[in-house]
Copies of this chain bind each other. A is one copy, B any other.
Amino acid sequence: MKKFSQNEIDKFIELLDFSKIEGGVVPMIAQDYKTNEVLMLAFANEEAVRQSLETGIACYYSRSRKKLWKKGEESGHIQEIQNIFIDCYRDTILLKVKQKVAACHTGFYSCFHREFVEGKLITRGKPVFNPDDVYKK
């Protein structure tokens, strides 16, 4: 798990361009640090990026709920940050993470578990957990 100092976090924030998407957020991709499987994409505002780098655990910003989204807070399915990359325009973050249990709330390891084939969505892989057991109604 990778944590950063306040000084390092300030430098990282300065590098990023939050101006491209309404609400001052950047897309943040989480990728399995071993297999390179893409797990999910969500958005992060400055506070979410700070939180992620301070704690070493991925934190996003929920644009619909308008608040920080500490991924795994309820389920325990946290993402421990191993490496942080940014793209050439400094407006997108790529996290290599150690994913606990699964990234997707539907029970699959990756949120990208459905492939579009011949006009239909085909589910790839099998669910890792039962959402009814993990998320209380």
Contacts and interface: CB of A to CB of B under 8 A. Distances in A.
Protomer copies: 2
A36 B112 CA distance: 13
Given A21-B22, A22-B21, A88 B104 contact: yes
Interface residues of A, number: 44
Interface in A86-107: 86-89, 92, 94, 104-106
Interface of A: 4-5, 7-8, 11-12, 15, 20-22, 27, 29, 31, 35-38, 40-41, 63, 83-89, 92, 94, 104-106, 108, 111-116, 118-121, 124
B114 A85 contact: yes
B22 A116 contact: no
29 contacts: A4-B119, A5-B119, A8-B118, A11-B120, A12-B119, A15-B116, A15-B121, A20-B63, A21-B21, A27-B27, A27-B41, A29-B29, A31-B36, A35-B36, A36-B37, A36-B38, A38-B38, A38-B94, A40-B87, A41-B87, A41-B92, A84-B115, A84-B116, A85-B114, A86-B114, A87-B112, A88-B104, A88-B105, A92-B112
